[in-house]
A = this chain, B = another copy of it.
Amino acid sequence: MSNPFFKNTGPYNINFLLNNIGSKNQSINDHEIIDIKDLNSSHNNEITFFHSKKYYDLARNTKASFCITTDNLKSFLPKTCKPITSKNVLLDTAKITQIFYPDSVNDNFDNSADYIDHTEYKDKVKHGKNVLIGKNVKIGSNCLIGHNSIIEKNVSIGDNCSIGSNVIIRNSLIKNNVHILDGCVIGKKGFGFFPNKNSNFKYPQVGIVIIEENAEIGCGSTIDRGSLSNTIIGKNTFLDNQIHIAHNVKIGENCIIAGQVGFAGSSTLGNNVMIGGQAGISGHLKVGNNVQIGGGSGVIKNIPDNSKVMGYPAKDLKNFIRENK
């Protein structure tokens, strides 16, 4: 889960970090902090954050040395994790993340990208006209990249992949046999910020996009990279055109997602999920395995395994049909 691409400018002393967020916490011994991560993936000498009771199971088991949290939640943390109390956990998390990863806030175009014919991939990759390749890009064997496509810095593409034309990819890990069709934008920063009059405070987006083997992404789709975790499209999952996948969404294997479906941030889908066109999935939800979601549905709560739902808000399919006879 640790980000392979964004440069971590740390370590930083915990008191330097606390100073930057104006923390009023009691004095804390000097301690070198290596990184900031989510509850689940953080380790010793790292800082994490915990802002909602929903995550208390993860909080109880975190291995982080420090955790930005609230007075109410701090008691859930293990003794090995020192609470840093905050009145705005997410904003302080964003500020500290921005210290570690100053480059992850904006998505300015990749100035390092150059024509593929000036790179080592000139003859290794079958490519169209005007293809650009950034720094730190790896491309496997037997790949195709269409006209005008831009593989920005920090992208790894496996073997036998077909990238269409007018595609933009950054901060992404594309496994073998993946097809990305024309006009997709993969790996841009998520839509995350703290509202602030006159000038919002942008949340760092340190995660990446991972697209597993055999997946296919339809034309004009946008898949945003994660903020502190990653955005993942599972193995052999197929997306139709004009789909929007927000940051931190994790989609399982063998899913089928029809056109114009949208995911808000941080939801998780199981395997073998089928979603009809134009359905929307709210944020921070869990959709189980083998779920079928009817076209146009609006999913606003968790859905257990093997369910069939439809409607806005989405309900059991049988009820939807009965009520709409």
Given contacts A109-B147, A113-B128, contact A244 B244 (CB under 8 A): no
- Interface: A236 (CB within 8 A): yes
Q: Closest B residue to A313 by CB, please name it.
A: B324
CB distance from A290 to the nearest CB of B (A): 12
Give the complex CA separation of A181 and B182 in angstroms.
Answer: 16
A258 contacts B254, C-beta separation under 8 Å: no
A-B pairs with lowest CB-CB distance, top 7: A109-B146, A296-B298, A191-B240, A278-B280, A222-B241, A244-B259, A260-B262
Can you spell out 17 A-B residue pairs with CB atoms less than 8 angstroms apart?
Answer: A106-B179, A115-B129, A128-B132, A166-B168, A183-B183, A185-B219, A188-B219, A191-B240, A191-B241, A198-B214, A219-B222, A220-B222, A222-B259, A240-B246, A244-B259, A258-B264, A313-B324
- Interface: A144 (CB within 8 A): yes
A238 contacts B200, C-beta separation under 8 Å: yes
- Interface: A205 (CB within 8 A): no
* Cβ–Cβ < 8 Å partners of A106 in chain B: 162, 179
Contacts of A303-317 to chain B: CB distance below 8 A: 311-313
Contacts of A43-65 to chain B: CB distance below 8 A: none
The residue from B108, B129, B196 contacting A162, defined by CB atoms under 8 A apart: B108
Interface residues on chain A, size class: 35 or more
* Cβ–Cβ < 8 Å partners of A182 in chain B: 107, 168, 185, 188
* Cβ–Cβ < 8 Å partners of A19 in chain B: none
CB distance from A199 to the nearest CB of B (A): 5
Give the complex CA separation of A260 and B109 in angstroms.
Answer: 23
0/1 per residue, A18-50, Cβ < 8 Å to B?
000000000000000000000000000000000
- Interface: A277 (CB within 8 A): yes
Give the complex CA separation of A264 and B311 in angstroms.
Answer: 17
The residue from B114, B191, B256, B277 contacting A262, defined by CB atoms under 8 A apart: B277
14 more contacts with CB within 8 A, not counting A182-B185, A311-B312, are: A106-B162, A113-B129, A113-B147, A132-B147, A148-B166, A191-B259, A198-B235, A200-B216, A222-B241, A242-B242, A242-B244, A277-B280, A295-B300, A296-B312
Give the complex CA separation of A298 and B128 in angstroms.
Answer: 40
The residue from B183, B199, B235 contacting A185, defined by CB atoms under 8 A apart: B183
CB distance from A183 to the nearest CB of B (A): 6
User: In this complex, which of A199, A258, A262, A264 has the most chain B Cβ atoms within 10 angstroms of its Cβ?
Assistant: A262
